[in-house]
Amino acid sequence: MIYPKLAFEGIRKNRRLYLPYILTCVGMVMMTYIVDYIRYSKTVAEMRGGSIIEEILVLGNGVIVFFSCLFLFYTNSFLMRRRKKEFGLYNILGMGKRNLSLIILCETATIAAISLVAGVFLGVVFSKLVELILINIIDLGINYSFDISFSAIRDTAIGFAIIFSLLLLNSIRQIRFSTAINLLKSENLGEKPPKANWFLGIAGVALLGAAYYLAVTITNPMAALVTFFFAVLMVIAGTYLVMISGSVMFCRLLQKFKGYYYKPNRFVSISSMAFRMKRNGAGLASICILATMVLVMISSTSSLYFGEESALAIRYPKEINAEIYTSGLEDLSDERFAPIKKIIDDAARGAGADISDAVYYREAAVVGAFINGSVEVNVANAAASVAASAVPYQFYFIPLEDYNRIYGTRDALSPGEAMVYYTRENLCLSEIKFNNGRDIKIVKTVDRFEVDGDAAASIVDSVVLIVPDLKEALGGLIELAAFNGDRLVVTEFVYGFNTGLEPEKQAEATQAVWSAIKDLDKEKYGIYSRTVSGREDSRTEFTELYGGLFFLGIMLSVIFIFAAVLIIYYKQLSEGYEDAARFGIMKKVGMTDRDIKKSINSQLLTVFFLPLGFAALHLLFAFPIIKRMLRLFNLVNVSLYGLITLICFAIFALAYTLVYRITSNVYYKIVSGGKD
C-alpha cells in the first residue's frame, strides 16, 4: 500500500494545486453526462423536431470531450512541473522509474475515480434541472419524471477513461525521460530570456491581418462557412505568434524608454514579463482564444434565440404563404391562377380563416453574378454559386401590372426599362446587362416590395426588377429554361394572406390549404410543383432549432469560461511561486510592500487585460462574416445581433475583471510571503 499512500499524500500536500484541477475534472464529467443524458432523453426523442436537438447535442458532446482532453493536458503539464522535484527526491532515495510510474498511476486513478464518481453523481442530480431549462427554452410541455441514463454514464465513463489514460502515459513519459538531477532542478531551470523574434512577430501580425481582411471583405455567402473556418485557424495561429514573439518585442521596446522603464514598479514587472514571455504568451493566447470562442458562441446563439420572432416574420411574411411553380412562362397567367386562388381561399375559409392583407403576384426568378459588368448566369446549376470570386444574386422579375395592383400606383414603363427594389444593399445600378438576356435600364428605385419568404431569408441578396412585360424582359433566358435538365428561369405565383385565427387554428388552416392543392392536376393547371407554409405551423421547428443552439451555446460557454478561469488561476500561481524569490531579493535591497503592490498591479494590468482587448478586436472583425452566416438561420436583424454582442461582451468583461481581482490577490500573497 506504499504507492497509494504516497499518491494520496502527494495530492493532499499539494491540495492548492490539485483541488481546482479535480473540481474542473468533476465539472467536465458532469457537463458531458448532462449533454449525453439530454441526447438520450425520451422527452427530447418524442418531441417534434427532436432529431434536430439530438444532432446538435451530438456535436456539442464531441466538442466538450475533445476540448476536455486538450485542456486537461494543459493543466496536467503544470501539475507535473510542480511535482517533478518531489519525484526527483524519491528517485535519489532509491525509487526507480517503475516505482515513480506506479505512484503516478495511483494518483491518476484516484483523481479519475473521484472525478467520474462525483461528476456522474452531480450530473444525475442536475440533469433533470438542465432538461427542464432546455424544455422551457424551447417552450414545450414539462415532464417531471426523473430517470438515470445508463447509456450516458457508459459514454461518459469511456470518454474520460481514455482521456485519463492519455494523461497517465504523458506523465510517465516525462518521468521516464528525465534524470534525477533534472527532476530536482525542474523548478529552478526557468527559461532563458527569449529574443525578440521580429520574423515570428511580423508573421503573427500578417496572419491576423489576412484573417481580418477575409472576414471583412468576403461577400459571397456561399463561401462564408469555408472562409470562416480558415480565418479561425489563422486567427488562432496569429494570436499565439503575436502574444509570444510580439509581446517580447513590446517589452524590449518599453525597456528602451529609460524614463518609463527605470521606475521601481515598472522595472520589475517589465523585466519579469520579458524573461518568461514564451510560456506567459502561450497562456495569454489561450485565454484570448477561449474568450473569443465564448463571446462568438453566446452572442450568435442568443441573437438567434431572441430574434426568433423577427426571423419568423421574415421567412413567412404572411400567416399562410403559397407558392405555385408553373411549367413555363406561358402558364403564368391570371386565367391559370384564378381557379387555384379560389381553391386556396375556399379551403382557408372552410378552416375558419378571415382572409385579409392578401398579396398575390407573378414572378420569374434567375440566379446570376456580376462578372465584367454583366450578369453571368450559371446554366448547369442555377442554385449554385457562379464562381468563387463572384457574388451571386437572385433576380426576380415582377410584372408592372401586379406591382400597380398591390400598391395602388399608376407607374408606367417602356420596353427595356425597369424599376428596382433591393432586399438589402442598394447597388445603385443604372443598367443591368444579362448574359443571354436583355439589357435593362433602371429608371427608378422603389423603397417597398413584399418579397416572398425564400427571397427575404436567403443568404443571397435579391434584386427585384419590376418590368412592363416578363417575356420581353427575360429575352433569351427563357430559352435556357430546361438546359441539361435544370430550369434556369423559375416561374411561379406567390400568394400570401393573414387569417385572423389563433395560433393553433392557423396551423390547421395551413394544413387545410395544403390538402386542397397538393393533388391538383398538373396538366390541367400548368403546375410544376407547389408549396404551402404557415408561420405558426413552422414556429415549433424554429423554436427547437434556435433554442437547442442557445442551450448548447450556454453549455459550451460555461465549459470554456471554467477553462479560462483555471488557466488564469494556474498562471497566477506558477508566476507567483517563480516571482516570490525575486521579490524577496528586491525587498532586501529596499523595495517596500507598497512598491511590490504597485509593481504587481502594473504587471497584471498590462498583461491580464491584453487577452480581453484582443478578444474584442477578434470579435469586431468577425462581426461581418458571422452576420452573413446567421442568414443561414433567417436572422437578418443586424442591429439585434450588434446589441446582443455588446451586452455579452460587457457581461464577460465584468466577470473577467472579477476573476482578475481574486487571482491578483492570490499572486500578491504568494510573492509577499503571505502564503506558503
Phi first, then psi, for residue 465 (nearest 5°) are: -110, 115
pLDDT of residue 277: 60
As a three-state string, the secondary structure of 479-544 is: HHCCHHHCCCCEEEEEEEEECCCCHHHHHHHHHHHHHHHCCCCHHHHCEEEEEEEEHHHHHHHHHH
Q: How many helices (H) and strands (E) does the chain have?
A: 25, 10
Residue 29 DSSP one-character state: H
Answer with the residue of higher pLDDT: 321 or 146.
Answer: 321
Instruction: Identify the band that residue 45 occupies on the pLDDT scale cut at 50, 70 and 90.
Output: low
pLDDT of residue 421: 93
pLDDT of residue 465: 93
pLDDT of residue 160: 92
Q: For 125-129, 278-282, 304-308, which range has the lowest pLDDT when averaged over its residues?
A: 278-282
pLDDT of residue 188: 52
Q: Which amino acid is located at 95 in the chain?
A: M
Q: How many whole angstroms separate alpha carbon 388 and alpha carbon 220?
A: 7
Instruction: Identify the band that residue 495 occupies on the pLDDT scale cut at 50, 70 and 90.
Output: very high
Residue 605 DSSP one-character state: H
pLDDT of residue 640: 86
Q: How many whole angstroms separate alpha carbon 157 and alpha carbon 163?
A: 10
Residue with cell 446570376: 368
- 356: number of CA atoms within 13 Å, CB side? 6
Q: How many whole angstroms separate alpha carbon 302 and alpha carbon 247?
A: 34
The distance of Cα 664 from the centroid of its chain, to the nearest Å, equals 31
Q: How many whole angstroms separate alpha carbon 407 and alpha carbon 414?
A: 20
Q: Which three cell numbers stand for residue 247?
A: 509581446
Strand segments (E) across 332-460:
356-371, 374-377, 392-399, 417-422, 431-433, 439-445
- Residue 434's DSSP bridge partners are 375
Give the chain's mean pLDDT: 80
pLDDT of residue 9: 85
pLDDT of residue 405: 92
pLDDT of residue 528: 86
CB-based contacts of 446, cutoff 8 Å, min separation 6: 419, 420, 421, 466
Q: Which three cell numbers stand for residue 660?
A: 482578475
| Whether residue 482 has pLDDT greater than 60 | no
| Whether residue 413 has pLDDT greater than 80 | yes
pLDDT of residue 191: 47
Q: How many whole angstroms separate alpha carbon 14 and alpha carbon 353?
A: 72
Element at 353 (helix H, strand E): none
Q: For 203-217, 278-292, 545-559, which range has the lowest pLDDT when averaged over its residues?
A: 278-292
Q: How many whole angstroms separate alpha carbon 312 and alpha carbon 185?
A: 64
Q: pLDDT tens digits, residue range 436-473?
A: 778 899 999 998 888 887 777 677 788 999 999 988 88
CB-based contacts of 504, cutoff 8 Å, min separation 6: 536
| Whether residue 399 has pLDDT greater than 90 | yes
- CB burial of 391-410 (b: ≥16 within 10 Å; e: otherwise) equals bbbbbbbbbbebbeebeeee
In terms of average pLDDT, the best of 10-14, 232-236, 317-321, 538-542 is 317-321
Q: How many whole angstroms separate alpha carbon 599 and alpha carbon 607?
A: 12
Q: pLDDT tens digits, residue range 214-226?
A: 888 776 655 666 6
Instruction: Identify the band that residue 185 occupies on the pLDDT scale cut at 50, 70 and 90.
Output: low
Q: How many whole angstroms separate alpha carbon 369 and alpha carbon 385?
A: 8
The end-to-end CA distance of the chain, in Å, is: 30
In terms of average pLDDT, the best of 105-114, 186-195, 417-426, 515-524 is 105-114
Q: How many whole angstroms separate alpha carbon 343 and alpha carbon 518?
A: 11
How many Cβ atoms from other residues are within 10 Å of residue 96's Cβ?
Answer: 10
Q: How many whole angstroms separate alpha carbon 34 and alpha carbon 149?
A: 9
Q: How many whole angstroms separate alpha carbon 30 and alpha carbon 434?
A: 59
Q: Which three cell numbers stand for residue 293?
A: 470562442
Element at 626 (helix H, strand E): helix 610-630
Residue 627 DSSP one-character state: H
pLDDT of residue 223: 60
What is the bridge-based pairing of β-strands 439-445 and 417-422? Answer: parallel
| Whether residue 112 has pLDDT greater than 60 | yes
Residue (of 559, 565, 494, 545) closest to 341 by Cα position:
494
Averaged pLDDT for residues 281-294: 79
Q: Which three cell numbers stand for residue 100?
A: 515513480
Averaged pLDDT for residues 67-96: 79
pLDDT of residue 418: 93
Q: How many whole angstroms separate alpha carbon 507 and alpha carbon 502?
A: 9
pLDDT of residue 140: 60
pLDDT of residue 514: 92
- Residue 550's DSSP bridge partners are none
| Whether residue 379 has pLDDT greater than 60 | no
pLDDT of residue 625: 81
pLDDT of residue 381: 43
Instruction: Identify the band that residue 387 occupies on the pLDDT scale cut at 50, 70 and 90.
Output: very low
**How big is the chain, counted in residues?**
676
| Contact between residue 54 and residue 39 where contact means Cβ atoms under 8 Å apart | yes
- CB burial of 25-50 (b: ≥16 within 10 Å; e: otherwise) equals bbbbbbbbbbbbbbbbbebbeebebb
Averaged pLDDT for residues 347-355: 91
Cβ neighbourhood burial of 71 (10 Å; 0-12, 13-18, 19+): buried
CB-based contacts of 484, cutoff 8 Å, min separation 6: 379, 380
pLDDT of residue 383: 41
pLDDT of residue 667: 73
pLDDT of residue 384: 44
